[in-house]
Amino acid sequence: MGMTEILFGFLTVLAIFSSLMMVTSKNPVYSVLWLIVTFFAVSGHYILLNAQFLAIVNIIVYAGAIMVLFLFVIMLMNLNKETEPQKNRWIKMAGAVAGGCLMLVLVAALKDAGGKDDQAQVVAGDIGLIKNLGKELFTTYVVPFEISSILFLSAMVGAVVIGKKE
């Protein structure tokens, strides 16, 4: 087992464990923190796949901007363990069983999807570098890129309008 496998296993365990903790934490603040850990683990996977651009964007946008926003909101609302609403036990059970079933179905359906030849290139490969992606983004995907700026604008306007008092 080489270094990549060890890294892969570590990141995978970390991602799953932290995401589980995120779901099960009573305190929303802990949930946010565990989610940030998960994002870091996913970013680690990106790095392992040599998708450096996405890894950094993930950390900056998700773990940085978005999660801080979440944290702000939670703290603004003064949510904590005591005020955290709890579903009744049966609904929780049903939710867990449903999720388990979905996983079972998906795993069963996809377990033979990839054969021995279907390997994801790790460590090597340079399409995930900023240079390549930037070239693609500003040539082939320039129109969607521009449109996404309009999306941001409207989201901004929307957030302001909704967040306004009265």
Q: Which of residues 24-63 bind other proteins (CB under 8 A)?
A: 28, 31-32, 35, 38-39, 42, 45-46, 48-51, 53-54, 57-58, 61-62
Q: How far is the CB of 135 from other proteins (least distance, A)?
A: 8
Per CB under 8 A, 144 contacts other proteins: yes
Q: How far is the CB of 95 from other proteins (least distance, A)?
A: 3
CA–CA distance, 78 with 70 (Å, rounded to integer): 12
Q: Which two tokens stand for residue 89?
A: 């036990």
Residues from 79 through 118 that contact other proteins (CB under 8 A): 79, 84-87, 91-92, 94-96, 98-103, 105-111, 113-114, 116, 118
- Cβ atoms 137, 149 nearer than 8 A: no
Other C-beta atoms closer than 10 Å to the C-beta of 130 total: 13
Minimum Å gap between C-beta 159 and other proteins is 4
- What distances in angstroms separate CA 94 from CA 24, 99, 154, one per listed residue? 15, 8, 38
The dihedral through the CA atoms of 18, 22, 27, 32 has a sign that is positive
Structure-token match 């570098």, residue found: 129
Q: Does position 143 bind other proteins by CB under 8 A?
A: no
Choosing from 23, 80, 81, 142, the residue that interacts with other proteins (CB under 8 A) is: 23
